[in-house]
Amino acid sequence: MASINVVSLAGKKVGSVELDELFSAEVNETLLWEAVKHYRAALRQGTAATKNRKMVAGAGKKLWKQKGTGRARVGSIRTPLWRGGGTVHGPQPRSYEYQFPRKKLMGALRSIRWMRRRPRCWWRARSS
């Protein structure tokens, strides 16, 4: 493998480094999977939302009196038990992004560099 010269700030040659030392790494498929998962999670929109009891259209008036009708007691037409009522614990907009450790990211980049550099190693990403 080729070597490159290490130069000081003054412009003098200090030493040399074998490129094999810099670019040699084993392919860590688990790390690559984690890096792709992190990348794809950051791309997610996270805009799914449902209306809860507070957001559903409808009056806030008590439908009928508490006692004396023979019907079940009810306070609001917006209750989740009724048709057209709100949703309980439904999805709300959020971000799926998370911090990915820098050392893991650098390891994944090293793995992909090594994978691309290997001779006759053809690979492709499967869309699932």
39 near 100, Cβ under 8 Å? no
pLDDT of residue 101: 95
pTM of the full structure: 0.61
What's the whole-number mean pLDDT along residues 63-92? 91
- Condensed to tens digits (0 to 9), the pLDDT of residues 12-59 reads 888 887 766 555 667 888 999 999 999 999 999 999 999 998 889 987
Q: Comparing C-alpha atoms, which of 88, 91, 101 is closest to residue 45?
A: 91
Give the SS3 label for residue 114: helix
For the chain, the domains span 29-47+95-120, 50-90
pLDDT over threshold 70, residue 125: no
Average pLDDT of the chain to the nearest whole number:
83
| Percent of the chain residues topping a pLDDT of 90 | 40
- Give residue for tokens 């670019």: 23
pLDDT over threshold 90, residue 6: no
For the chain, strand residue ranges (E) read 3-7, 13-18
